[in-house]
Copies of this chain bind each other. A is one copy, B any other.
Amino acid sequence: MRILMIGAGGVGDAAARIAVERDFFELLVVADYDLARAEATVANASARREGETRLVAAVVDASDGAAVAAVAAQYAVTHVFNAVDPRFVMPIFRGALAAGASYLDMAMSLSQRHPEEPYAKAHVKLGDEQFAMAGEWEASGQLALLGMGVEPGLSDVFARYASDHLFSHIEELGTRDGANLAVHDADGNETFAPGFSMWTIIEECLNPPVVWDRARAEAAGGDVEAGFSTLPAFAEPEVFDFPEGIGPVECVHVEHEEVLLMPRWVEADRVTFKYGLGEELISILKTLRTLGLDRTDMVTVKGVQVSPRDVVAAVLPDPATIGPQMKGKTCAGLWVTGTGKDGQPRRTYLYHVSDNEDTMREYGAQCVVWQTAVNPVVALELIANGTWSGSGVLGPEAFDAVPFLDLLKAPKPEGYGSPWGMEDR
């Protein structure tokens, strides 16, 4: 396997560090718009393994599909791994197709609100632009694996696992994400520093959250597409109790890929995503919306053109650098309710907890970033050894969950040594 990874930000950097421990690939090209950043990732990751020479750095403009295809061709890569923010999904996706490579990402093409009823009807949904090209991918014989991070990603693998092995009927597939992370500044004061890109947090939290209902789909004659509807931002707050000492966190509906992916491959009555934003972040997001600082179009400020949301992201600490000041754990997981294989009512939380102390010590990466980065590397390994195979545009649910969950959990050096858990409630 010859991989072109686009993006040497926090997740790309952590993915490189995780990947060098594994033998499944022969080349990993780390490409970024900033060559120095790509070179630093290559140097730091390679230094973790004696004699490591499989990583090389390159420059690429992720917004230009032809440039992506050119770098892919230059290195004869077999797989393009997209590790930049979702604004660049489509050029990278098209670039990979043009280069005849397979493709993997951790976030899907962006949504557009319904022009008349944004808080009721779905319009252009997450991933719609990608699924619209499914025929071309099938024709090429290549695989495009969408949403293969932790959420989406591991959460979707859990959905397939629950359906195959735990439940005979699923009422709700409810991704639930919460954390007890805190960041302290040099003076020891708790400070606001989100665990991943503020650009993405604004995007997913202020967009109308999407839910899927089987009843809506059935009313439309079984059309999966008809099952989607939207809610106002921050809708239906719910306190969810997270495991391993994190405890109760207030969660609200958020627009997220799982809701778009799961109904395509897994049977359920309802699919939701709720994120444990907490009071402070909700208040911050509402203020940004009130002021218009969530805007992504360019505004003129004293003669220069700038996007307000980029400014918000730029003044906050870089999520990739806050690891040393961070304490706590983050939990990604799937809350499944319905009827078990034994015919009895069942309520199960499948989850994966990442402790910042562990990920900093072992990988020099903060826990949210590390947890996102490990899953696509596991998936690439399963694809490399042929355990997972397919063509066309697919989600993680399209593949057998067991080998993924086994490889993730198995102690090193066989596996990735990162256990997941299951709690019946």
- Among A288-296, A353-361, A366-374, A383-391, the stretch that binds chain B is A288-296
Please tell me if the beta carbons of A315 and B306 are within 8 angstroms of each other in the complex: no
Answer yes or no: A316 CB below 8 A from chain B CBs. Answer: yes
- Among A165-173, A297-305, A408-416, the stretch that binds chain B is A297-305
In the complex, what residues of B have CB within 8 A of residue A301's CB? 306-307, 310-311, 314
The complex places the Cα of A345 from the Cα of B210 at a distance, in Å, of 64
The complex places the Cα of A290 from the Cα of B185 at a distance, in Å, of 12
In the complex, what residues of B have CB within 8 A of residue A290's CB? 192, 280, 284
Give the residue name and chain of the B residue nearest to A313 (CB). Answer: B301
| Chain A 180-192 per-residue mask, 1 if CB under 8 angstroms from chain B, else 0 | 0000000000001
Query: When the two chains form the complex, which single residue of B283, B293, B302, B308 contacts A283, counting CB atoms closer than 8 Å?
Result: B283
Please tell me if the beta carbons of B305 and A291 are within 8 angstroms of each other in the complex: no
Please tell me if the beta carbons of A304 and B302 are within 8 angstroms of each other in the complex: no
Give the residue name and chain of the B residue nearest to A284 (CB). Answer: B287
Answer yes or no: A36 CB below 8 A from chain B CBs. Answer: no
Given contacts A283-B283, A283-B287, A287-B284, contact A302 B310 (CB under 8 A): yes
In the complex, what residues of B have CB within 8 A of residue A293's CB? 293, 311-312, 315
The complex places the Cα of A295 from the Cα of B304 at a distance, in Å, of 17
In the complex, what residues of B have CB within 8 A of residue A314's CB? 299-302
A268-297 residues at the B interface, CB under 8 angstroms: 280, 283-284, 287-288, 290-293, 295
Given contacts A283-B283, A284-B290, contact A306 B316 (CB under 8 A): no
Please tell me if the beta carbons of A291 and B312 are within 8 angstroms of each other in the complex: yes
Closest beta carbon of chain B to A309's beta carbon, Å: 10
The complex places the Cα of A290 from the Cα of B304 at a distance, in Å, of 25
Query: When the two chains form the complex, which single residue of B287, B295, B304, B311 contacts A287, counting CB atoms closer than 8 Å?
Result: B287
Given contacts A192-B290, A284-B287, A287-B287, contact A295 B310 (CB under 8 A): no
In the complex, what residues of B have CB within 8 A of residue A312's CB? 291, 293
Please tell me if the beta carbons of B306 and A306 are within 8 angstroms of each other in the complex: yes
Closest beta carbon of chain B to A412's beta carbon, Å: 39
Given contacts A302-B310, A306-B306, contact A192 B291 (CB under 8 A): yes
In the complex, what residues of B have CB within 8 A of residue A304's CB? 304-306
In the complex, what residues of B have CB within 8 A of residue A316's CB? 291-292
Closest beta carbon of chain B to A280's beta carbon, Å: 8
Give the residue name and chain of the B residue nearest to A302 (CB). Answer: B310
| Chain A 142-162 per-residue mask, 1 if CB under 8 angstroms from chain B, else 0 | 000000000000000000000
In the complex, what residues of B have CB within 8 A of residue A306's CB? 301-302, 304, 306, 311
Closest beta carbon of chain B to A334's beta carbon, Å: 32
Most buried by B among A288, A301, A308: A301
The complex places the Cα of A303 from the Cα of B310 at a distance, in Å, of 11
Please tell me if the beta carbons of A299 and B311 are within 8 angstroms of each other in the complex: yes
Closest beta carbon of chain B to A196's beta carbon, Å: 16
Give the residue name and chain of the B residue nearest to A192 (CB). Answer: B290
Give the residue name and chain of the B residue nearest to A316 (CB). Answer: B291
In the complex, what residues of B have CB within 8 A of residue A292's CB? 315-316
Please tell me if the beta carbons of B295 and A315 are within 8 angstroms of each other in the complex: yes
The complex places the Cα of A316 from the Cα of B291 at a distance, in Å, of 6
A to B CB contacts below 8 Å, 10 in the list: A280-B290, A287-B287, A291-B316, A299-B311, A299-B315, A301-B307, A301-B311, A301-B314, A304-B305, A304-B306
Chain A positions near chain B (C-beta within 8 angstroms): 192, 280, 283-284, 287-288, 290-293, 295, 299-302, 304-308, 310-312, 314-316
Kindly list the 3 A-B residue pairs having the minimum CB-CB distance in the complex, ordered from nearest: A287-B287, A292-B315, A301-B314
Given A300-B314, A302-B314, 13 additional A-B pairs, CB 8 A:
A192-B290, A284-B290, A284-B291, A287-B287, A291-B316, A292-B315, A292-B316, A293-B311, A299-B311, A302-B306, A302-B310, A306-B311, A308-B315
